[in-house]
Amino acid sequence: MRKLWALIRLDLQILLNAMHAGSAKRPWAAWVLMAVPGALMAYLGTLMGWSLATVMAPVGVLDLLAPLLAVLCAAMNLVFTLFAARGLVFTGRDSDLMLSLPVPTLWVVLGKLLALMLENLLLTVLWMVPAGVAAALSGGGAAICWPTYLASLPALALLPTTLGLAGGWLLALASARVRRQALVGNLLSMALMIAVLAASMQVNRLAALMLENAGSVRALLHGWLLPAGLFGSAAAGSWPAAAGFWAICLGLFLLVSVLVSRQYQRILAGLAGRNVRADYRLSALKASGQFRALYQKEWARYTHSNIWLMNTAVGPVLAVGGCVWFAFSAEGRILAAQMGPEAAWAGAALAGVVLSMCCTTCSSISLEGKNVWILQEAPLTARALFGAKAALNLTLNIPAGFLCTGLLAWACGLSAGQTAAMACALTFSALWTALYGLAVNLLLPKLDSPNDTVVVKQSAASMAGIFGSAGCVGAVSGAVWLARSLGLTACVWGASAALCLGCCALWRWLCTAGMARFGRL
Amino acid sequence: MLTIEHLSKTYPGGKRAVEDLSFSVPTGEIVGFIGHNGAGKSTTLRCAAGILPFDSGQILIDGHDIARQPVAAKQAMAFLPDNPDLYEFLTGVKYLQFIADLYAIPADVRTRRVARYADAFDLTGALGSPIGGYSHGMTQKLALISAFIRQPRLLILDEPFVGLDPQAAFTLKELLRQLCRDGGAVLFSTHVLEVAEKLCGAIVIIQNGRLVRSGPTAAVIGDESLEQVFLDLAAEGPERSREGAQGHA
């Protein structure tokens, strides 16, 4: 057990180390940046608990509240765990070392999973406790017995860990069996993301559906959704149900862990297997410039890194999807009719915030990792180096911004001037996001991560980049909204000018102090 | 070609890696850089390559100050660290294309050079495969090819022979000699003292960040072997480090 505990501590260290800003001078930075997603989870949990309890209490279906909260919590955790499991369990750079240690492979796998589970537990607590408090305060107190409710939360955290491991294993297996691993991995992950997004769009109908089909839902909770049913009974105060819930969750967790550990070496060997051909024939090579070479290299890394692509592609997909909904759905058309052009501006502000969460540059320098020497020893200018990295980010955000502009303008009948203002604002906010991300990554570099997942999902720079750029764009949008009495179009042009000035200042910093910082990495 | 004057570098935490180091690498010379583990060899080479900032001193590459004119200095040189990490998501040929683009090598010239050096290191057939699938030796060969296609005037190598098979090691020695005959210069660190003895026209030995001996190989070795000289210096320890800073063989 000492060895298992040592492995758990090591893997926790790997997860926590990702949040460290890379400097002993700022140990507080990791904790501050962990507070941001934590606060977000608590906010969402509170919102869910309150709104669901408000709807369910009057019609006497409070017994469905706790299972529903548990399912939503597990689903959210699963999305994070799927990629984290793949990164930490299947593609970590410490695999050779781990497998050469005199410990059973099961211990190695359990160490990684339990570290992941502890992270899930934190998110589960941050979601479920505020949700339970909010539900109790809004009339749902009868559904929550706190001792059994809290005692069941660790078991609830095991579920997404188990499902994430199984899903990550299937993703890794499928990818390993095909030649173009990166492409297959990306396609599978894209399909999963679209499925999760489509399902999440239906969340707002869940309460209504449950009211209409309470009997069927209860039957499900005694059927294939038994774990959720047991959690509901445990939350209501049943210790036997809590024990049953623990038994199922722990049993599944151990079963999957044992199965994976038996195949672990084969899985890792398949993923890391060398596939070098010896029949390449050199043909005439083409030449291009520094900028294009660096940009193509960024694209190659982006499409090869499943986690980087999936973590950033969500922004443009959500923004464009939301605008498509607004332009073509009945609810969207009603909204457009009621609010007029203001609906378009509100939509643009929302799209801008969502797009700004697509910040590839905030991980771009950290992802260079041990390859950073290649760029440091090359005769590169700041324009080529940083310009190429920013260009990748702009390639994702600007076309999405134009699409959103077109859809919103068409749906609300905006004039050419209004459309141009909107397009300009979204373009400069995309530029701001790209340059801001670079600056953040230079200030908070993380070059020693064991895998891409840790850099993209858990590093201080990625947190500060994603939430910071969204915060900036949100603040600008808020300022425009507050000043709308001066004329929305004029305010939007003003916001574009402000963002443009900000971009100029950032670019100047990147070309001077930023380049010096890069040289010191 | 390379002049290092009074170079000093201290890492955060107080570790003095290099102290008041001065030596030069003239055109047409292969200089071997020798020292015990942790002596400051890699630090010195990385400072010369413009990768690591240093506290004081000056480094000139082909007349360009690495601190004040980094782009011009780097254009004239090529550096390879020990155990170089390359982009695993690129194929070998795409990596070479990438390097060639960064150094603005024309298309026909790069095709010729890639063919020549890939053939010399027997790596042509593997250039179409991802670097992530390469063995350590293949990666080392690819890194060397990426350095040679630039036809640098100064080549700085940190332990270049590690991982190379005997054929590739022989090829590398021949290419280094050819580079010097063509007007270039080479500075490389190695722990394989026999190679340094046979290949290098001059030797620089550092100990605990300080220069202890430098000069033409024959003068440094004298009647002994380089290995014996190295062991004698190691036995003399820190005292020698301080004396060596004042005068060299």
Rounded mean pLDDT of chain A?
Answer: 84
Cα B54 from Cα B206, distance rounded (Å): 17
A377/B94 touch (CB, cutoff 8 Å), yes or no: no
Contacts of B97 (CB under 8 A, 6+ apart): A285, A286, A293, B110
d(CA A500, CA A432): 8
Q: Give the phi and the psi of residue A489 in degrees, each rounded to 5.
A: -60, -45
CA–CA distance, B87 with B65 (Å, rounded to integer): 29
Distance CA A137, CA B242 (A): 76
Tens digit of pLDDT for each residue in B169-197? Answer: 999 999 999 999 999 999 999 988 889 99
At A150 the pLDDT is 93
Reported pTM: 0.79
Task: Tell me the residues of chain A between 117 and 156 that have a Cβ less than 8 Å away from chain B.
Answer: none
Query: Lowest mean pLDDT: which of A5-14, A129-138, A252-261, B212-221?
Result: A5-14
A520 near B CB under 8 A: yes
Tell me which residue of A492, A445, A457 sits closest to A357, measured CA to CA: A457
Report the residue from A285, A290, A381 with minimal CB separation from B111: A285
**pLDDT value, residue B29:** 95
Give the CA distances from residue A287 to residues A91, B96, B114, B144, in Å, rounded to whole numbers and listed in that order: 34, 11, 13, 20
State the pairing for strand pair B56-61/B2-10.
antiparallel
Q: Are the Cβ atoms of B125 and A378 closer than 8 angstroms?
A: no
User: B2-76+153-244 has which CATH code?
Assistant: 3.40.50.300
Over pLDDT 70: what percentage of chain B?
Answer: 95
pLDDT tens for A197-250 read 666 556 556 666 667 777 777 877 778 788 888 999 998 899 999 999 999 999
What is the Cα–Cα distance from B15 to B3, expressed in whole angstroms? Answer: 24
Residue A288 in contact with partner chain B when CB distance is under 8 A: yes
Most distant CA pair in chain A, distance: 76
Q: What's the Cα-to-Cα distance from A506 to each of A427, A486, A514, rounded to whole Å?
A: 16, 29, 9
Cα A461 from chain centroid? 14
ipTM for the assembly: 0.89
Is A483 in a helix, a strand, or coil?
A: coil
Task: List B18's β-bridge partners, or say none.
Answer: B9
Contacts of A292 in chain B (CB under 8 A): 101
Measured between beta carbons, the chain A residues lying within 8 angstroms of B93 are: 280, 282, 285
pLDDT one-digit tens code per residue, A6-58: 887 777 776 666 555 444 555 565 566 567 667 777 887 888 888 888 878 87
Backbone angles phi, psi at A215, to 5 degrees: -65, -45
Cα distance between the two ends of chain A: 39
Helix axes A105-135, A2-17, angle to 10 degrees: 60
Backbone angles phi, psi at A251, to 5 degrees: -60, -45
Mutate to test the interface with B, among A91, A277, A282, A392 (most CBs of B within 10 A): A282
Q: What is the pLDDT of residues A261-313, one digit of tens each?
A: 888 887 777 766 556 778 888 888 999 999 999 999 999 999 888 778 878 88
Instruction: Give the pLDDT of residue A21.
Output: 45
**Among A280, A287, A370, whose Cβ lies nearest the Cβ of B126?**
A280
Starting at the earlier edge strand, list the strands of the sheet with B202-207: B77-80, B154-158, B185-189, B30-35, B202-207, B210-216
pLDDT tens readout for residues B86-139 = 999 999 999 999 999 999 999 999 999 999 999 999 999 999 999 988 999 999
Task: Please state the φ and ψ torsions of residue B183, each to the nearest 5 degrees.
Answer: 100, 10
Range 165-204 of A in CB contact (< 8 A) with B: 182
Q: Report pLDDT for A173.
A: 66
What's the confidence (pLDDT) of residue B247?
45
Distance, in Å, from the CA atom of A355 to the CA atom of A397, rounded to the nearest integer, reads 6
Q: Which residue of B has its CA nearest to A284?
A: B111
Residue percentage of chain A with pLDDT more than 70: 85
* Residue B247 contacts residue B212 (beta carbons within 8 Å): no
Do residue A287 and residue B133 have CB atoms under 8 angstroms apart?
no
Q: Where are the domains of chain B?
A: 2-76+153-244, 87-151
Instruction: Note the pLDDT tens digit of each residue in A166-202.
Output: 877 776 666 656 556 666 666 666 666 666 666 655 6
Which of A282, A370, A378 lies closest to B124 in CB terms? A282
The pLDDT score that the predictor gives to residue A22 is 47
What pLDDT is recorded for position A218? 80
Q: What is the pLDDT of residues A378-414, one digit of tens each?
A: 999 999 999 999 999 999 999 999 999 999 999 998 9
Q: Is the pLDDT of residue B161 over 50?
A: yes
How many contacts (CB atoms, under 8 Å) link A and B?
121
Give me the pLDDT at residue B203, please: 94
Q: Do A373 and B81 touch (CB under 8 A)?
A: yes
Q: What is the pLDDT of residue A362?
A: 95
pLDDT at residue B72 is higher than 60: yes
Q: How confident is the model at residue B239 (pLDDT cuts 50, 70, 90)?
A: low
Q: Which pLDDT belongs to residue B231?
A: 80
Nearest to B87 among A182, A289, A297 (CB): A297
List the structure tokens of A380. 């590169």
Q: In what order do the strands lie in the sheet with B2-10?
A: B16-25, B2-10, B56-61, B64-65
Query: What's the mean per-residue pLDDT of chain B?
Result: 91
DSSP per residue over A391-447, as a string? HHHHHHHHHHHHHHHHHHHHHHT--HHHHHHHHHHHHHHHHHHHHHHHHHHHHS---
Q: How far apart are CA A91 and CA A454, in angstroms?
A: 11
Q: Closest to A290 (Cβ–Cβ): which among B81, B101, B107? A: B101
3-class SS shares of chain B: helix, strand, coil, % to 5: 40, 25, 35
pLDDT for B155: 97
Mean pLDDT computed over A486-491: 89
Q: Which of B227, B223, B185 is nearest to B205 (CA)?
A: B227
Amino acid at A411: A
To the nearest whole angstrom, how far is the Cα of B16 from the nearest Cα of chain A?
Answer: 17
Q: What is the DSSP letter of B86?
A: -
